[in-house]
Every structure is written in C-alpha cells, then in structure tokens.
Amino acid sequence: MMTMSNPELVQFQSEGEQVEAHFYPARGVEGPAPAVVLAGGWCYVKELVQPKYAVGLAEAGISALVFDYRRVGGSEGEPRQHLDPNDQMEDYRNALSYLESREDVDPGRLGAWGISYSGGHVLILGATDSRVRCVASIVPVIDGHANLQRAHGTIGFRRLNEMIRDSRRKLYETGEHSYIPHASEHPERDVVTWPFPASEPLFRWLQETQGPRYENRATVASTEMLLRYTVMPYLQRLIDTPTLMVVAEGDDHTMWELEVEAFKEILTPKKRLCVVPRSGHHSLYRDEELIQLAVRECADWFGSYL
C-alpha cells in the first residue's frame, strides 16, 4: 500500500533514457490535483531532503514528483555522475510532460521546485517554460563562476582551473572523463568542486541516513559547465510567474548576497523572499525545525498560486 513514506515508483523517458521518480499523490483532493516537480542539487539523489518537501506538498493537497536526473541515482545514462545543467533542465521539462499525461494531475496547475543547483534551474524554467505556473527556489546557485571563485579563493581557483584544463586534454586525447570529488574534509589539500570542510561529513551522513546511492563525485566537465552557469539573463523574464526564493542567513556556500541581488532582478510583483534566520546553507539539510519552516513556506506558496 502506498503511503507518504512509501510513494509510487514511476519512470518516464527523457531524451531516450529512463528516469526514475517517486510520485506523492495529493491528499484530500477529488479530481485532478495541482502538481510540482522537484529535483536536487550537485550530485543529489531523489532521497536526499526532497521527500520532506514532497510530503509537505502532498499533505497540502498538491501532488509532488521527485526524480533522479539522468546519469544519477536510479536513472539511466552514461557517463555516470555527469551533471549537465542543460540536460538536467530537459529532465525537468520531461517530468512536466509526464505529469501532463497523468489523469490525476491538472496539467494547467504545474509548478517547479529546486534546491541549490536546481534552485537556479527552476528560475530558468519559470522564465522559459509556460507550463510552469509557480516556482520555489531554495538557496539557489545564481552564478557558478562568481560562486566558485569566492568559495575557492585565488590559489584554490587556480588549482581548480588547472584540473579542468588537464581533464579537457585527457578527454580530447582518450575520450575518457576525469572525476572530481563533490567535497572533502580537507579542501586545502584536495581539489574538489565545493571546497567546504563541512560538506563531506554532511553528505556522508545524508548518504548513510537517506540516500545510499549518493556518490561524492562528478565529472570534471560538470564543474566546467558550472563555471559557465548563470541565471541572471532569465530573471527579467519572470514577469508573471509567482516566484518564492528561500535564502539561508549568512549562506557562504551559494552566497546569500548573490541570491538577494538576483531576487531584486525578478520582475513579477508576485514574488517573496524568505530569509531563514540563524541558519546557513547546511541548516536546510540537517536542522529539522528550519527544514520544516522552508517546507511550510513552499506549501503555502504553491497552495496560493496553483
């Protein structure tokens, strides 16, 4: 029997490959319900944190679809752990198409939710896909180059770019991708994508407690694409798409000052900035009270506009 803790396992096609997802049906709704698509950030699998939001939405009468991107978790695709943001947004679009095909979903009331890297994706989707009627963006990546340059510092950023150059030469000569860790407890020694000492133990804990298919690595090409990533050209195209942005106070991972500046550029008057007090980026993965605060904000937002 399907329950909130045991959602329906479903699959859909994205660019010819099978994507694995969990569907959380809306509770207490007769007839087709509104629905939201959710996907994770850097290296995330669908079991990390996202189910808390999916359950909150379902209990508020909004169905939720949480999926693994291609090449990650339970979804098909090679090379594994290759995080192409354009492909990830295409997976979102195909997830929306899958929801449109379900008889228990109202295709005119669809939303998009994202966290960290995907928090940026949904801002772009809200600006470019007319099916997205409402957006919730949690601690989003705004500009990959600015973000990683600040996070790594001058010397660390040189090391990162040297690895990218070496990896690109290898890829050209051999056709083989190189890999870089998501995080390390010793980023002063190890070249990683996200150089925060607290990230490795946090995601190890999340792997042990929530998502055993999480892998602490991505292709180096993924990091190169992150450096080219920015949401800024799209924000002024959010003209009539209700947009919620949840920011963690003092977040020096995805840089809350970048997030607040980006929020100012969103044109729609139907927007809300929620700053989670006394928190930080990792609080929204570990602190249950603060997670539930963000869950309620999202459920209320989608409930108001879907």
In Å, how far are 71, 147, 256, 286 from 262, measured between CA atoms?
Answer: 30, 13, 10, 26
Tens digit of each residue's pLDDT (9 = 90 or more) over 100-116: 999 999 999 999 999 99
**Shortest CA distance to 134 belongs to which of 23, 235, 34?**
34
Instruction: List, for residues 26-53, the tens digit of each pLDDT value.
Output: 999 998 999 999 999 999 999 999 999 9
> 9-16, long-range: CB within 8 Å, 24+ apart, which pairs?
10/65, 10/98, 12/67, 12/94, 12/95, 12/97, 12/98, 13/94, 14/70, 14/90, 14/91, 14/94, 14/95, 15/70, 15/87, 15/90, 15/94
Helix and strand element counts for the chain (H, E): 9, 10
pLDDT (0 to 100) of residue 220:
98
Q: What is the pTM of this model?
A: 0.96
pLDDT given at position 4: 53
> Based on the number of CB atoms within 10 Å of its own CB, is 264 exposed (0-12), middle (13-18) or buried (19 or more)?
exposed
Fold of 8-143+232-305: Rossmann fold (3.40.50)
Q: Where do the structural domains in the chain lie, given as residue ranges?
A: 8-143+232-305
pLDDT-flagged residues of the chain (< 70):
1-5
User: 220, 83 in Cβ contact below 8 A?
Assistant: no
Token output for 67: 């999926």
